[in-house]
Amino acid sequence: MNWLDEVKWDAEGLIPAIAQEVGSNDVLMFAFMNRDSLARTAELGEAVYWSRSRRRLWRKGEESGNVQKVREVRLDCDNDVVLLKVEQTGGGPGEATVACHTGRRSCFYQVLRDGHWQVVDPVLKDPERIYR
Amino acid sequence: MNWLDEVKWDAEGLIPAIAQEVGSNDVLMFAFMNRDSLARTAELGEAVYWSRSRRRLWRKGEESGNVQKVREVRLDCDNDVVLLKVEQTGGGPGEATVACHTGRRSCFYQVLRDGHWQVVDPVLKDPERIYR
């Protein structure tokens, strides 16, 4: 049986995917994958997601250069969530490694404190420089 | 503005939630939350999810005793994914701390190797002892 057939895709043919950084174990981002994107991720060794808004495959870093090298692909107990262990790369030598389009390391930079979402992580790279 | 109003709930009123262990930073599990479950999680300081199959609130550990103490709630850049930093508790003194209903620490115990999903993490607690 093909390993892709063991994945329980949802009604739209998608599966949630969590990207976690190798080493720090920080959760960097969350996105969806369809069958093609998971197959491509395994083939390339680089994260390829499915963009629900643009309705197309989206190789992480295709515009920003912030490619995610995939070191391990894990599946949960219900076969319906994927966890990628990734090495997040930057846009070039000496560049900060950012996974978030806001220029932060991780997309999860807002923390609930005293009934408000507070931004707690710094912008490491100007988004205008990421998407130039 | 209420912090719950800033969350972008999906068409079914849900948001994906990732539970990550404080300290190890291991990703333990993934589930969904609705507005009530996120509000209850913040009030109680314990993870309360929405069970899509049972269509009801599900306080993690209500049957197993494996409660998740929530130390931090984070939100991503699109306001549509939640990350919980949790302290996973066991069923009692000396009990292994397991988040997964299979008796493993984490739900992500299957790794893709050579075109197959391989189980790589041990069962720490017999599921029959978890749900007795």
Which pLDDT tens digit goes with each residue over B80-90? Answer: 999 999 999 98
ipTM of the complex: 0.95
* pLDDT tens by residue, B45-67: 999 999 999 999 999 999 888 99
Cα B80 to Cα A122, B14, B26, B57: the distances in Å are 20, 9, 21, 19
B120 has pLDDT over 90: yes
B102 pLDDT higher than 90 = yes
pLDDT of residue B132: 63
Interface contact A76-B30, CB threshold 8 A? yes
- Residues whose CB falls within 8 Å of the CB of residue A53, separated by 6 or more in sequence, listed in order: none
Segment A100-111 shows an average pLDDT of 96
How confident is the model over A58-102, as pLDDT tens digits? Answer: 999 998 889 999 999 999 999 999 999 999 998 677 888 899 999
Per-residue model confidence (pLDDT) at position A132: 63
Q: How many CB pairs under 8 A join A and B?
A: 98
pTM: 0.96
pLDDT per residue as tens digits for the range B4-33: 999 999 999 999 999 999 999 999 999 999
Percent of chain B with pLDDT over 90: 86
- Alpha helices (H) in chain B, listed in sequence order: 35-44, 127-130
Q: Is any Cβ of chain B less than 8 angstroms from the Cβ of A123?
A: no
Could you say which residues from 4 to 43 on chain B have a Cβ atom under 8 Å away from some Cβ of chain A? 6, 16, 18, 20, 24-27, 29-30, 42
Give phi and psi for A89, each to the nearest 5. Answer: -105, 155
Q: What whole-number distance in Å separates Cα of residue A12 and Cα of residue A10?
A: 5
Q: How confident is the model at residue B92 (pLDDT cuts 50, 70, 90)?
A: confident
